[in-house]
Structure 1
């Protein structure tokens, strides 16, 4: 089986790294092409995959074609590959905002198509991907794709109408978490903590909190209450966040991401 990457940016590299680490594929089974020579050379040196001469060469040889290009590049790239993708190939798109119908229309024919929305924590094996498929993808093919996606984090199948919600909940939200981490660290620096140490403390607190919720299955509100002692420091901070509209701001940010994804 040959897995072909059209585009070799951060998400593609996360996927390749995960597949190789979990031994789902060998370097010689992975093909790729990127627009810049520097990117092609870096990926070949780091992962040892086969770098071909152009996107069409990758698409023509791949059994699974992964479209790892930005949405604004979609039209140009699909024009290059649409006539050479194998009839029985599985096409996987990770572009935000591009629906199954839009992708099929761009190819000008029906194909086996999976649409997924991963996120950047995939770079450290902690990604989260929402996945949907068209009617031509069998359960066995979907299972095969899920194994690839689960090599760098968790992946769950969702109906396509929820993919835009996935963009807000996990696709874009790492940026919000990084803003929160930076703000936490700034607060600690204001209180006198060295910045490097402040970043480590804040990051570990967020990492540990997320793991606690996932592993215990407890509601986040219940876990929050466990930290809030009566008359203590935490409830003072929670009250301040509530006064400043913390929850509302986060919900509005997610809503903005969803609406943008829907309009792309």
Structure 2
């Protein structure tokens, strides 16, 4: 995974998302010695990986390492504390990959210097290998570094690259926050089923299976979502009656458009 250099990859932050990425790297790369984990208190899952693979674990950034790649997987509110401690690991050819929402490249460079930075936004399905990540690379990132970043990010799902950093805020609003929208859809479907007379537990099981099953069908199909929707909708049938409500006056589209706009605006605010 670190083909550019024999220098290590340093994962800073070993929570759920960092752990998901680490598990993917270890599954695709047997050289466990090329990874260093920096976290004062790794998640239990990451601790198991550390113990199983004999990974080097440090509670604070080591002073004896110049990293090929530094992956920043700490919470955004911890960045200003975490970044100053990393300067000793940064060399002229170090690539920094940040998955912290709202943390701009200029913020990272204000602490680490004018280095190569990839700003990325994965989402929580990455924890089961079904995520998707949006990414942007600054001008200092070489083609080899971009390829390395793509390999590292793609262990949890596909990577979509954009040409402008502000588009990361839009990605955050659509796919980064998007799983919560889908979970809320399942909640609403289950509550609607309960109000229609179903037992509460049955309604939730129906909603969960329907949402996850529809997602899997869409993943396996080459047809666009619109075609899949139309395939389920018989003219004058029950689905058509429901869609008349959801699509009438673009009700659902308008609601989601406003929701995504609100999330994008908030992402921009967090970025300062």
- TM-score where L is the length of structure 2: 0.85
1:208 aligns with 2:213: yes
Provide the residue aligned with 1:118 in structure 2.
122
**How many residues are paired up?**
260
Cα displacement string for residues 59-98 of structure 1 (whole angstroms, at most 9, x for unaligned residues): 9353211000111111111111123323322110001122
Determine the C-alpha separation between the residues in 2 that align with 1:198 and 1:4. 45
Tell me which residue corresponds to 1:181. Answer: 186
Distance 2:64 2:240 in 1: 56
TM-score for both structures, normalised by structure 1 = 0.88
Q: By how many angstroms is 1:246 displaced?
A: 2.2
SS of the counterpart of 2:135?
strand
Q: Which residue does 1:140 correspond to in 2?
A: 144
1:31 aligned residue:
36
* Shift of residue 218, structure 1, vs aligned partner: 2.8
**Whole-angstrom CA distance in 2 between matches of 1:195 and 1:31:** 47
User: In angstroms, what is the RMSD of aligned CA positions?
Assistant: 2.4
User: Once the 2 structures are TM-superposed, how far is the Cα of residue 54 of structure 1 from its aligned partner?
Assistant: 3.2
8 Å contact kept, 1:33–1:58: no
- CA distance in structure 1 between the partners assigned to 2:11 and 2:97 by the alignment: 10
Whole-angstrom distance in 2 between the partners of 1:86 and 1:52: 21
Any unmatched runs of 5+ in structure 2? 1-5
Deviations 1:195-243 (A, max 9, x none): 5554443333323333443443333223222222121111111122235
Which string of whole-angstrom CA distances, capped at 9 and with x for unpartnered residues, describes residues 98-136 of structure 1? 2222221232x2112111000000000001101111122
The CA deviation string for residues 138-178 of structure 1, in whole angstroms up to 9 with x for no partner, is: 21221121111111111121122311110011001111111
What's the secondary structure of 1:142's corresponding residue? helix
Matched residues in 2 for 1:90 and 1:205: separation? 42
Please tell me whether residue 252 in structure 1 is matched to residue 261 in structure 2.
no
Q: Mark the CA change 1:183 to 1:56 in structure 2 (over 3 Å): closer, same or farther.
A: same
Q: How far apart, CA to CA, are the structure 2 residues paired with 1:82 and 1:67?
A: 13
Q: 2-side partners of 1:44 and 1:58: how far apart?
A: 22
Q: In structure 2, what is the equivalent of residue 45 of structure 1?
A: 48
Q: Does 1:229 align with 2:234?
A: yes
Alpha carbons 1:55, 1:81 under 8 Å: kept: no
C-alpha spacing 1:249/1:53, structure 2 compared with 1 (3 Å): same
Alpha-carbon distance, 1:190 to partner: 4.0
State whether residues 55 and 77 of structure 1, in contact with CA within 8 Å, keep that contact through their aligned partners in structure 2.
Answer: no
Shift of 1:41: 5.9
Is residue 11 of structure 1 aligned with residue 17 of structure 2?
A: yes
CA–CA separation in structure 2 for the residues paired with 1:17 and 1:99: 26
1-side partners of 2:99 and 2:264: how far apart? 16
